[in-house]
Chains A and B, each alone.
Chain A
Amino acid sequence: MSDREILQLLESVHDPEIPSLSIEDLGVLRSARASDDTVEVVITPTYSGCPAMDVIEADIKKCLTSNGFRNVLVITQLAPAWTTEWLTEKGREILKKSGIAPPSRCGSVSFSENRIIECPMCDSKSVELLSQFGTTACKALYRCQTCLEPFDYFKCH
């Protein structure tokens, strides 16, 4: 099986906290390399304490062993550090459809959130920050001042 075919198999592995998003779209899946019945998969954590990483590792192993690989090695690689720039275009669309505002194109974290954030429901740019943290560490909680819906914003990281 070629490395590309393995990556295709891994498209079925999703982020347990945002189930509509595959780990590839999230940018967590870095590479896969196979030799004989062994495969080596490299992933990069989103946040240091992200509890989803253990589940993702287990899901990768389950996916590949059920496809005939006897030894699956999942390597967690810290550098270069994961960034929201690695979210794919498809990933950003999926986030928006799930009611989560995708991260603004930012570069890196800064001390103030002065970026333009759009409401994922009505596209209004008139929004207010409710809390720096939303349902998970990677999101902040906002409210749209036009349609009044609260929503999660996937923070620039």
Chain B
Amino acid sequence: MDKHFQYVLRMGDNALILGQRMSEWCGHSPFLEEDIAMANCALDHVGRARMLLTHAGTLEEKGRTEDDLAFLRDEREIFNFLICELPIGDYAFTLMRQYLVDVYHFHLYSGLEKSSDSMLASIAAKAIKETTYHVRRSGDWIIKLGDGSDESRQRMQDALDELWGYTGELFAADEVDDYASCKGIGPDPHALRSDWERDVFDKLRTATLSIPEEVWQISGGREGVHTETMGALLAEMQFLQRSYPGLNW
């Protein structure tokens, strides 16, 4: 697989799968304003997925559209980070995931604004504005709930402990990332990690949460090896195109 294509495809998959998970809250969030905010953030991710997958399809030169890539690939051909596909859990879990991923995206898209791939740079210029809002919002919640009541603090801590083992995958560079960074297509994943840690550690301390010790780390999403919940997610997301191929609005 062409490395440039693979690099863009992975980012498209992260946006797609995270956007799909977030949209599960639509109509179910704890209160109305939050419901609207979560759905709007989900929309940003789905919109980004459309642009990235369209671009990936162009790079691949096999005529696949954004819809082909989103709806007609099987689990083993989808390359998102595992953290994006985890079930939504309680609202603490959702917000903690958002925050950890939002900070990652903030530094990733800041780097991509300078990409040698002009289409990626354009997408990033758009995405970075939205992501700045995302970080602001999820970061506020980390502090409000972390430094909140006993129960909210405990729930945020539990969420953090559970998610921590999935964060290493965000920075585990392989030959695709090395290729991208070497060609000036994407930022250096090692630099991303130090930027991310600086921001996240600082926020967690302010929120009176304890930074987990590194006990275990899991990865696999980027090789197409997913958690057991991925199949159900895809079944829901892809159902229409699988059952009624080519169906249009």
Most chain A Cβ neighbours within 10 Å, of B36, B44, B119, B130: B36
> Residues of A within 8 Å of B, CB-based: how many?
28
Q: Is there contact, CB below 8 Å, between A108 and B129?
A: yes
A112/B136 contact (C-beta < 8 A), A136-B40, A157-B129 known: yes
The contact string, 1 if C-beta is below 8 Å from chain A, for chain B 111-153, is 0000000110111011101101101110010000000000000
Alpha-carbon distance A141/B137, docked complex (angstroms): 13
Please tell me if the beta carbons of B47 and A131 are within 8 angstroms of each other in the complex: no
Instruction: State whether the Cβ of A19 lies closer than 8 Å to any Cβ in chain B.
Output: no
Partner of B37, one of A50, A79, A131: A131
Q: Are A78 and B48 in contact (CB under 8 A)?
A: no
Given A48-B47, A133-B33, check contact A78 B40 (CB 8 Å).
no
B137/A109 in contact, CB under 8 A? no
B83 within 8 A of A: no
Q: What residues of A have a CB within 8 angstroms of the CB of B42 in the complex? A: 49
Q: A131-B34, A133-B33, A141-B33 are in contact. Are A79 and B121 (CB under 8 A)?
A: yes
* Residue numbers in B under 8 Å from A79 (CB-CB): 118, 121-122, 125
Chain A hits for B125, CB < 8 A: 78-81
- Expressed in whole angstroms, the Cα–Cα distance for A128 and B47 within the complex equals 30
Cβ-defined partner of B51 (8 Å) among A48, A82, A113: A48
* B119 nearest CB neighbor, chain A only: A78
Counting CB contacts under 8 A, is A20 at the interface?
no
Q: Within the complex, which residue of A81, A137, A141 is in contact with B43, where a contact is CB–CB below 8 Å?
A: A137
Contact of B133 among A45, A78, A109 (CB under 8 A): A109
Contact B36–A133 (Cβ < 8 Å): yes
B45 at the interface (CB under 8 A from A): yes
Is B56's CB within 8 Å of the partner chain A? no
State whether A49 touches B36 (Cβ < 8 A).
no
B46 CB within 8 Å of chain A: yes
| Closest Cβ–Cβ distance, residue B169 to chain A (whole Å) | 24
Interface status of A38 (Cβ within 8 A of chain B): no
Residues on A facing B (Cβ under 8 Å) = 45, 47-51, 78-82, 108-113, 130-137, 141, 155, 157
**Chain A to chain B contacts (Cβ below 8 Å), 9 pairs:** A45-B47, A48-B123, A49-B42, A49-B50, A81-B122, A109-B132, A130-B33, A132-B136, A133-B41
Would you list the 8 A-B pairs with minimal beta carbon distance, nearest first? A49-B47, A48-B47, A49-B43, A131-B33, A79-B122, A78-B122, A133-B37, A137-B40
Additional 15 contacts, C-beta under 8 A, given A49-B19, A137-B130:
A45-B126, A48-B44, A48-B126, A49-B47, A49-B48, A78-B125, A79-B121, A109-B132, A113-B136, A132-B140, A133-B37, A133-B41, A134-B36, A136-B40, A141-B33
